[in-house]
Amino acid sequence: MEVEKGRPVAEALAAVERGLSSEDRRLATQIVYGVLRHRRFLDAFMSDRISRPPKPAVKMVMRIGLEQLWFMDRVPDYAVVSSAVEQARSVDARAAGLVNAILRTAIRTPFEPREPGVRYSLPDWILERWQARFPGDWESMAARQNMPPPMNLRVRGDRDAALADLAAAGVDAVASEWLPDAITVRSPIRLERLHLFGQGQLYVQDQSAMAVAYAASDPDPRHILDLCAGVGGKSFHLADQHPGSHVTAVDTAAERLARLRENAVRLHLVGRVTPVLRDAREAELKERADIVIVDAPCTGLGILRRRPDIRWRRQPRDLGRFQLLQRELLEAAVRAVEPGGIVVYSVCSTEPEETSAVVNAVLDAHPELLSEDVATQLPSPWSRFRDGSWVMVPPGMEDLDGFFIARLRRTR
Protein backbone atom coordinates (compact mmCIF):
# COMPACT_ATOMS: atom_id res chain seq x y z
CA MET A 1 0.00 0.00 0.00
CA GLU A 2 2.93 2.33 0.68
CA VAL A 3 4.33 1.66 -2.80
CA GLU A 4 0.92 2.51 -4.27
CA LYS A 5 1.32 5.94 -2.64
CA GLY A 6 4.70 6.43 -4.37
CA ARG A 7 7.18 5.13 -1.81
CA PRO A 8 10.14 3.17 -3.33
CA VAL A 9 9.64 -0.54 -2.79
CA ALA A 10 12.94 -1.22 -1.02
CA GLU A 11 12.33 1.65 1.38
CA ALA A 12 8.75 0.54 2.07
CA LEU A 13 9.87 -3.02 2.81
CA ALA A 14 12.70 -1.92 5.09
CA ALA A 15 10.22 0.03 7.20
CA VAL A 16 7.99 -2.98 7.94
CA GLU A 17 10.46 -5.89 8.03
CA ARG A 18 12.08 -5.03 11.35
CA GLY A 19 11.42 -7.76 13.88
CA LEU A 20 10.69 -10.44 11.30
CA SER A 21 12.81 -13.57 11.09
CA SER A 22 15.12 -13.85 8.08
CA GLU A 23 12.80 -16.50 6.62
CA ASP A 24 9.74 -14.27 6.98
CA ARG A 25 11.64 -11.30 5.53
CA ARG A 26 12.41 -13.34 2.42
CA LEU A 27 8.76 -14.37 2.13
CA ALA A 28 7.51 -10.80 2.55
CA THR A 29 9.98 -9.55 -0.06
CA GLN A 30 9.00 -12.30 -2.49
CA ILE A 31 5.28 -11.50 -2.09
CA VAL A 32 5.69 -7.73 -2.44
CA TYR A 33 7.96 -7.87 -5.48
CA GLY A 34 5.78 -10.55 -7.04
CA VAL A 35 2.58 -8.51 -6.63
CA LEU A 36 4.30 -5.49 -8.18
CA ARG A 37 5.60 -7.52 -11.13
CA HIS A 38 2.30 -9.23 -11.87
CA ARG A 39 -0.07 -6.43 -10.89
CA ARG A 40 -1.73 -5.92 -14.27
CA PHE A 41 -2.19 -9.68 -14.75
CA LEU A 42 -3.71 -10.06 -11.28
CA ASP A 43 -6.00 -7.06 -11.70
CA ALA A 44 -7.28 -8.28 -15.07
CA PHE A 45 -8.40 -11.57 -13.52
CA MET A 46 -10.24 -9.72 -10.76
CA SER A 47 -11.83 -7.08 -12.98
CA ASP A 48 -13.33 -9.77 -15.23
CA ARG A 49 -15.16 -11.20 -12.20
CA ILE A 50 -16.04 -8.18 -10.03
CA SER A 51 -18.72 -5.70 -11.06
CA ARG A 52 -17.86 -3.04 -8.48
CA PRO A 53 -14.28 -2.09 -7.50
CA PRO A 54 -13.50 -3.15 -3.91
CA LYS A 55 -11.73 -1.00 -1.33
CA PRO A 56 -8.01 -0.55 -2.14
CA ALA A 57 -6.96 -2.64 0.87
CA VAL A 58 -9.32 -5.46 -0.09
CA LYS A 59 -8.00 -5.37 -3.65
CA MET A 60 -4.45 -5.64 -2.29
CA VAL A 61 -5.42 -8.65 -0.17
CA MET A 62 -6.72 -10.38 -3.31
CA ARG A 63 -3.57 -9.51 -5.23
CA ILE A 64 -1.46 -11.05 -2.46
CA GLY A 65 -3.59 -14.18 -2.46
CA LEU A 66 -3.51 -14.58 -6.25
CA GLU A 67 0.24 -14.03 -6.33
CA GLN A 68 0.77 -16.86 -3.84
CA LEU A 69 -1.66 -19.21 -5.58
CA TRP A 70 -0.25 -18.77 -9.07
CA PHE A 71 3.41 -17.79 -8.72
CA MET A 72 4.61 -19.19 -5.39
CA ASP A 73 4.65 -22.61 -3.74
CA ARG A 74 5.69 -21.73 -0.20
CA VAL A 75 2.16 -21.74 1.32
CA PRO A 76 -0.53 -24.37 0.59
CA ASP A 77 -3.58 -23.13 -1.32
CA TYR A 78 -6.01 -23.67 1.55
CA ALA A 79 -3.78 -21.61 3.87
CA VAL A 80 -3.51 -18.81 1.30
CA VAL A 81 -7.30 -18.59 1.01
CA SER A 82 -7.84 -18.77 4.75
CA SER A 83 -5.25 -16.07 5.47
CA ALA A 84 -6.63 -13.77 2.74
CA VAL A 85 -10.20 -14.13 4.03
CA GLU A 86 -9.07 -13.21 7.55
CA GLN A 87 -7.11 -10.22 6.25
CA ALA A 88 -10.11 -9.04 4.23
CA ARG A 89 -12.42 -9.44 7.22
CA SER A 90 -10.15 -7.19 9.29
CA VAL A 91 -10.45 -4.47 6.63
CA ASP A 92 -14.10 -4.89 5.61
CA ALA A 93 -16.18 -7.71 7.06
CA ARG A 94 -18.48 -7.68 4.02
CA ALA A 95 -15.53 -8.40 1.68
CA ALA A 96 -14.61 -11.79 3.15
CA GLY A 97 -17.05 -13.69 0.93
CA LEU A 98 -15.85 -11.89 -2.21
CA VAL A 99 -12.20 -12.65 -1.46
CA ASN A 100 -13.00 -16.30 -0.76
CA ALA A 101 -14.92 -16.61 -4.05
CA ILE A 102 -12.24 -14.94 -6.19
CA LEU A 103 -9.38 -17.02 -4.80
CA ARG A 104 -11.27 -20.31 -5.04
CA THR A 105 -12.16 -19.46 -8.65
CA ALA A 106 -8.45 -18.82 -9.32
CA ILE A 107 -7.60 -22.31 -8.03
CA ARG A 108 -10.07 -23.92 -10.45
CA THR A 109 -9.78 -21.60 -13.47
CA PRO A 110 -6.74 -21.14 -15.74
CA PHE A 111 -6.15 -17.52 -16.77
CA GLU A 112 -4.47 -17.09 -20.16
CA PRO A 113 -5.07 -13.55 -21.46
CA ARG A 114 -4.28 -12.84 -25.10
CA GLU A 115 -3.40 -9.18 -24.71
CA PRO A 116 0.43 -8.96 -24.39
CA GLY A 117 0.32 -6.12 -21.87
CA VAL A 118 -1.86 -8.21 -19.55
CA ARG A 119 -0.01 -11.46 -20.22
CA TYR A 120 3.37 -9.94 -19.37
CA SER A 121 2.00 -7.39 -16.88
CA LEU A 122 3.59 -4.37 -18.55
CA PRO A 123 2.17 -1.02 -19.69
CA ASP A 124 1.22 -1.04 -23.38
CA TRP A 125 3.43 1.95 -24.20
CA ILE A 126 6.58 0.12 -23.03
CA LEU A 127 5.70 -3.03 -24.97
CA GLU A 128 4.94 -1.04 -28.13
CA ARG A 129 8.40 0.54 -27.96
CA TRP A 130 10.11 -2.81 -27.53
CA GLN A 131 8.06 -4.39 -30.31
CA ALA A 132 9.24 -1.65 -32.69
CA ARG A 133 12.93 -1.76 -31.70
CA PHE A 134 13.43 -5.44 -30.84
CA PRO A 135 11.01 -7.26 -33.17
CA GLY A 136 12.63 -10.67 -32.66
CA ASP A 137 13.30 -10.36 -28.94
CA TRP A 138 10.54 -8.27 -27.38
CA GLU A 139 8.48 -11.21 -26.15
CA SER A 140 11.34 -12.95 -24.37
CA MET A 141 12.44 -9.57 -23.00
CA ALA A 142 8.94 -8.96 -21.64
CA ALA A 143 8.79 -12.39 -20.02
CA ARG A 144 12.14 -11.87 -18.31
CA GLN A 145 10.90 -8.70 -16.60
CA ASN A 146 8.75 -10.91 -14.37
CA MET A 147 11.61 -13.18 -13.28
CA PRO A 148 13.56 -12.34 -10.13
CA PRO A 149 16.99 -10.98 -11.10
CA PRO A 150 20.17 -12.70 -9.94
CA MET A 151 22.29 -11.34 -7.13
CA ASN A 152 25.70 -10.35 -8.44
CA LEU A 153 28.67 -9.46 -6.28
CA ARG A 154 31.88 -7.70 -7.16
CA VAL A 155 34.85 -9.41 -5.55
CA ARG A 156 37.60 -7.08 -4.30
CA GLY A 157 40.43 -9.58 -4.31
CA ASP A 158 41.02 -13.16 -5.41
CA ARG A 159 37.79 -14.42 -6.96
CA ASP A 160 38.63 -18.12 -6.67
CA ALA A 161 39.49 -17.73 -2.99
CA ALA A 162 36.24 -15.84 -2.40
CA LEU A 163 34.22 -18.57 -4.12
CA ALA A 164 35.91 -21.20 -1.97
CA ASP A 165 35.13 -19.23 1.20
CA LEU A 166 31.51 -18.79 0.14
CA ALA A 167 31.18 -22.51 -0.63
CA ALA A 168 32.55 -23.33 2.82
CA ALA A 169 29.86 -21.06 4.27
CA GLY A 170 27.15 -22.93 2.36
CA VAL A 171 26.63 -20.27 -0.33
CA ASP A 172 26.04 -21.46 -3.89
CA ALA A 173 27.94 -18.99 -6.10
CA VAL A 174 29.63 -19.20 -9.51
CA ALA A 175 32.16 -17.12 -11.41
CA SER A 176 30.77 -14.76 -14.05
CA GLU A 177 31.71 -15.21 -17.68
CA TRP A 178 31.16 -11.49 -18.27
CA LEU A 179 33.62 -9.83 -15.89
CA PRO A 180 36.71 -11.17 -14.07
CA ASP A 181 35.72 -9.72 -10.69
CA ALA A 182 32.02 -10.70 -10.72
CA ILE A 183 30.21 -13.68 -9.22
CA THR A 184 26.56 -14.75 -9.28
CA VAL A 185 24.90 -16.03 -6.12
CA ARG A 186 22.33 -18.78 -6.63
CA SER A 187 21.14 -19.38 -3.07
CA PRO A 188 19.55 -17.13 -0.40
CA ILE A 189 22.16 -15.40 1.76
CA ARG A 190 22.41 -12.91 4.60
CA LEU A 191 25.31 -10.75 3.44
CA GLU A 192 25.88 -9.14 6.81
CA ARG A 193 26.67 -12.57 8.26
CA LEU A 194 29.46 -13.28 5.77
CA HIS A 195 32.93 -12.41 7.01
CA LEU A 196 34.01 -11.54 3.44
CA PHE A 197 31.28 -8.90 3.33
CA GLY A 198 32.20 -7.50 6.72
CA GLN A 199 35.85 -7.31 5.65
CA GLY A 200 34.89 -5.28 2.59
CA GLN A 201 35.76 -7.98 0.05
CA LEU A 202 32.29 -8.11 -1.53
CA TYR A 203 30.05 -5.41 -3.01
CA VAL A 204 26.52 -5.95 -4.37
CA GLN A 205 26.34 -4.69 -7.94
CA ASP A 206 24.79 -5.82 -11.23
CA GLN A 207 27.23 -6.76 -13.96
CA SER A 208 25.97 -4.08 -16.36
CA ALA A 209 26.70 -1.46 -13.70
CA MET A 210 30.15 -3.00 -13.10
CA ALA A 211 30.86 -2.68 -16.82
CA VAL A 212 30.81 1.12 -16.52
CA ALA A 213 34.10 1.18 -14.60
CA TYR A 214 35.72 -0.98 -17.28
CA ALA A 215 34.39 1.35 -19.97
CA ALA A 216 35.94 4.32 -18.12
CA SER A 217 39.37 2.77 -17.57
CA ASP A 218 42.36 4.81 -18.75
CA PRO A 219 46.08 4.66 -17.87
CA ASP A 220 47.18 6.36 -14.63
CA PRO A 221 44.40 8.86 -13.89
CA ARG A 222 45.09 11.14 -10.93
CA HIS A 223 41.60 12.48 -10.41
CA ILE A 224 38.31 10.70 -11.16
CA LEU A 225 34.96 12.45 -10.91
CA ASP A 226 31.63 10.66 -10.47
CA LEU A 227 28.90 13.23 -11.08
CA CYS A 228 25.92 11.03 -10.04
CA ALA A 229 27.52 8.88 -7.38
CA GLY A 230 24.47 7.57 -5.53
CA VAL A 231 25.65 5.19 -2.80
CA GLY A 232 29.05 4.88 -4.46
CA GLY A 233 29.17 1.59 -6.37
CA LYS A 234 30.92 2.94 -9.46
CA SER A 235 33.11 5.34 -7.46
CA PHE A 236 34.42 2.45 -5.38
CA HIS A 237 34.97 0.26 -8.43
CA LEU A 238 37.01 2.98 -10.14
CA ALA A 239 39.02 3.56 -6.97
CA ASP A 240 39.83 -0.16 -6.86
CA GLN A 241 40.81 -0.23 -10.54
CA HIS A 242 43.07 2.84 -10.20
CA PRO A 243 44.84 2.60 -6.82
CA GLY A 244 46.86 5.77 -7.44
CA SER A 245 43.82 7.96 -8.06
CA HIS A 246 41.45 10.01 -5.95
CA VAL A 247 37.69 9.88 -6.63
CA THR A 248 35.32 12.78 -6.01
CA ALA A 249 31.76 11.44 -5.64
CA VAL A 250 29.09 14.09 -6.27
CA ASP A 251 25.39 13.63 -5.54
CA THR A 252 22.37 15.78 -4.73
CA ALA A 253 20.96 13.53 -1.96
CA ALA A 254 22.41 13.66 1.54
CA GLU A 255 20.83 10.27 2.36
CA ARG A 256 22.65 8.57 -0.52
CA LEU A 257 25.95 10.17 0.43
CA ALA A 258 25.48 9.03 4.04
CA ARG A 259 25.26 5.45 2.75
CA LEU A 260 28.28 6.11 0.53
CA ARG A 261 30.28 7.10 3.60
CA GLU A 262 29.20 3.93 5.40
CA ASN A 263 30.20 1.83 2.40
CA ALA A 264 33.56 3.62 2.16
CA VAL A 265 34.31 2.64 5.76
CA ARG A 266 33.46 -1.02 5.14
CA LEU A 267 35.51 -1.06 1.91
CA HIS A 268 38.47 0.75 3.53
CA LEU A 269 38.28 3.55 0.96
CA VAL A 270 37.88 6.53 3.30
CA GLY A 271 40.19 9.28 2.07
CA ARG A 272 40.33 7.89 -1.46
CA VAL A 273 36.65 8.50 -2.27
CA THR A 274 35.41 11.93 -1.16
CA PRO A 275 31.64 12.58 -1.12
CA VAL A 276 30.42 16.03 -2.19
CA LEU A 277 26.81 17.18 -1.73
CA ARG A 278 26.08 19.28 -4.82
CA ASP A 279 24.16 19.49 -8.06
CA ALA A 280 26.73 18.41 -10.63
CA ARG A 281 25.33 20.83 -13.19
CA GLU A 282 26.32 23.75 -10.95
CA ALA A 283 29.54 22.39 -9.50
CA GLU A 284 32.52 24.76 -9.47
CA LEU A 285 35.47 22.40 -9.53
CA LYS A 286 38.94 23.37 -8.36
CA GLU A 287 40.55 21.03 -10.86
CA ARG A 288 39.50 19.09 -13.90
CA ALA A 289 39.40 15.31 -13.81
CA ASP A 290 41.11 12.74 -16.02
CA ILE A 291 38.02 10.51 -15.96
CA VAL A 292 34.44 11.75 -15.49
CA ILE A 293 31.51 9.36 -15.30
CA VAL A 294 27.83 10.27 -15.56
CA ASP A 295 25.53 7.44 -14.56
CA ALA A 296 22.56 9.68 -15.13
CA PRO A 297 19.08 9.59 -13.59
CA CYS A 298 16.71 7.97 -16.07
CA THR A 299 13.36 6.24 -16.47
CA GLY A 300 14.94 2.96 -15.32
CA LEU A 301 13.19 0.97 -18.06
CA GLY A 302 16.21 -1.35 -18.22
CA ILE A 303 15.77 -2.56 -14.64
CA LEU A 304 12.04 -3.28 -14.44
CA ARG A 305 12.65 -6.77 -13.05
CA ARG A 306 14.82 -5.30 -10.28
CA ARG A 307 12.51 -2.34 -9.62
CA PRO A 308 9.04 -3.59 -10.59
CA ASP A 309 7.34 -0.51 -9.13
CA ILE A 310 8.92 1.62 -11.88
CA ARG A 311 6.75 0.11 -14.61
CA TRP A 312 3.62 1.58 -13.01
CA ARG A 313 5.21 4.92 -12.15
CA ARG A 314 6.70 5.96 -15.48
CA GLN A 315 4.84 7.65 -18.34
CA PRO A 316 6.00 8.44 -21.92
CA ARG A 317 6.41 12.13 -21.01
CA ASP A 318 9.14 11.15 -18.52
CA LEU A 319 11.49 10.36 -21.41
CA GLY A 320 11.67 14.02 -22.42
CA ARG A 321 11.94 15.20 -18.83
CA PHE A 322 14.90 12.95 -18.12
CA GLN A 323 16.52 13.73 -21.48
CA LEU A 324 16.84 17.40 -20.56
CA LEU A 325 18.52 16.54 -17.25
CA GLN A 326 20.77 13.95 -18.86
CA ARG A 327 22.05 16.37 -21.48
CA GLU A 328 22.77 19.01 -18.84
CA LEU A 329 24.73 16.48 -16.78
CA LEU A 330 26.72 15.29 -19.79
CA GLU A 331 27.52 18.90 -20.69
CA ALA A 332 28.77 19.39 -17.11
CA ALA A 333 31.01 16.34 -17.53
CA VAL A 334 32.52 17.78 -20.71
CA ARG A 335 33.34 21.00 -18.85
CA ALA A 336 34.92 19.02 -16.02
CA VAL A 337 37.23 16.72 -17.99
CA GLU A 338 40.85 17.45 -18.83
CA PRO A 339 41.88 17.68 -22.50
CA GLY A 340 42.82 14.12 -23.41
CA GLY A 341 40.55 12.76 -20.67
CA ILE A 342 37.59 10.39 -20.77
CA VAL A 343 33.87 10.98 -20.20
CA VAL A 344 31.64 7.92 -19.76
CA TYR A 345 27.87 8.33 -19.98
CA SER A 346 25.58 5.52 -18.85
CA VAL A 347 21.91 4.95 -18.05
CA CYS A 348 19.91 1.88 -16.98
CA SER A 349 17.64 2.40 -19.99
CA THR A 350 17.86 1.59 -23.68
CA GLU A 351 15.30 4.12 -24.89
CA PRO A 352 16.65 6.32 -27.73
CA GLU A 353 15.60 9.58 -26.04
CA GLU A 354 17.88 8.79 -23.10
CA THR A 355 20.76 7.16 -24.95
CA SER A 356 21.73 7.95 -28.54
CA ALA A 357 19.79 11.24 -28.66
CA VAL A 358 21.62 12.60 -25.60
CA VAL A 359 25.09 11.54 -26.72
CA ASN A 360 24.64 12.64 -30.33
CA ALA A 361 23.40 16.07 -29.24
CA VAL A 362 26.48 16.60 -27.08
CA LEU A 363 28.81 15.27 -29.79
CA ASP A 364 27.27 17.69 -32.29
CA ALA A 365 27.79 20.60 -29.88
CA HIS A 366 31.40 19.66 -29.07
CA PRO A 367 33.64 18.90 -32.03
CA GLU A 368 36.49 18.33 -29.56
CA LEU A 369 34.81 15.10 -28.44
CA LEU A 370 35.54 11.74 -30.05
CA SER A 371 33.33 8.70 -29.48
CA GLU A 372 35.49 5.67 -28.68
CA ASP A 373 34.54 1.99 -28.99
CA VAL A 374 33.24 0.91 -25.59
CA ALA A 375 33.30 -2.81 -26.43
CA THR A 376 37.10 -2.78 -26.78
CA GLN A 377 37.36 -1.77 -23.12
CA LEU A 378 35.27 -4.74 -21.94
CA PRO A 379 35.86 -8.51 -21.95
CA SER A 380 35.05 -10.12 -25.31
CA PRO A 381 31.49 -11.39 -24.53
CA TRP A 382 30.28 -7.80 -24.38
CA SER A 383 30.99 -7.31 -28.09
CA ARG A 384 27.63 -8.91 -28.86
CA PHE A 385 26.04 -5.77 -27.43
CA ARG A 386 28.07 -3.36 -29.57
CA ASP A 387 25.84 -0.63 -31.03
CA GLY A 388 28.15 1.44 -33.22
CA SER A 389 30.80 2.71 -30.81
CA TRP A 390 28.48 2.25 -27.82
CA VAL A 391 27.32 -0.75 -25.81
CA MET A 392 23.59 -1.34 -25.34
CA VAL A 393 22.28 -4.32 -23.37
CA PRO A 394 18.55 -5.01 -23.94
CA PRO A 395 16.67 -5.44 -20.63
CA GLY A 396 17.17 -8.91 -19.16
CA MET A 397 19.26 -10.19 -22.08
CA GLU A 398 21.73 -12.84 -20.87
CA ASP A 399 20.41 -12.18 -17.36
CA LEU A 400 21.93 -8.67 -17.40
CA ASP A 401 20.25 -5.39 -16.55
CA GLY A 402 19.30 -3.21 -19.50
CA PHE A 403 22.05 -0.63 -19.90
CA PHE A 404 23.62 1.89 -22.28
CA ILE A 405 27.26 3.00 -22.09
CA ALA A 406 29.11 5.56 -24.22
CA ARG A 407 32.80 6.56 -23.94
CA LEU A 408 33.88 9.99 -25.16
CA ARG A 409 37.41 11.40 -25.30
CA ARG A 410 38.05 15.13 -25.18
CA THR A 411 40.75 15.67 -27.77
CA ARG A 412 41.60 19.26 -26.86
Q: Catalytic site residues?
A: 348
- DSSP assignment of 95-115: GHHHHHHHHHHHHH------S
> C-alpha dihedral over 201, 203, 204, 207, to 10 degrees?
-100
Question: CA 204, CA 276: separation in Å to the nearest integer?
Answer: 22
Element counts in the chain: helices (H) and strands (E): 17, 13
Pairing of strands 202-204, 369-372: unpaired
Q: Contact at 8 Å (CB) between 374 and 314?
A: no
- What's the alpha-carbon Rg for the chain, to the nearest Å? 23
Give the Cα separation of 21 and 194 in Å (integer).
Answer: 17
What sign does the CA torsion over 273, 325, 221, 214 have? Answer: positive
In whole angstroms, give the CA distance from residue 298 to residue 410.
Answer: 24
DSSP H helical ranges for 52-145? 56-71, 77-91, 96-108, 116-119, 124-133, 138-144
Task: Provide the H-helix boundaries in 290-379.
Answer: 310-313, 317-336, 356-365
Q: What angle do CA 350, 353, 355 make, to 5 degrees?
A: 50
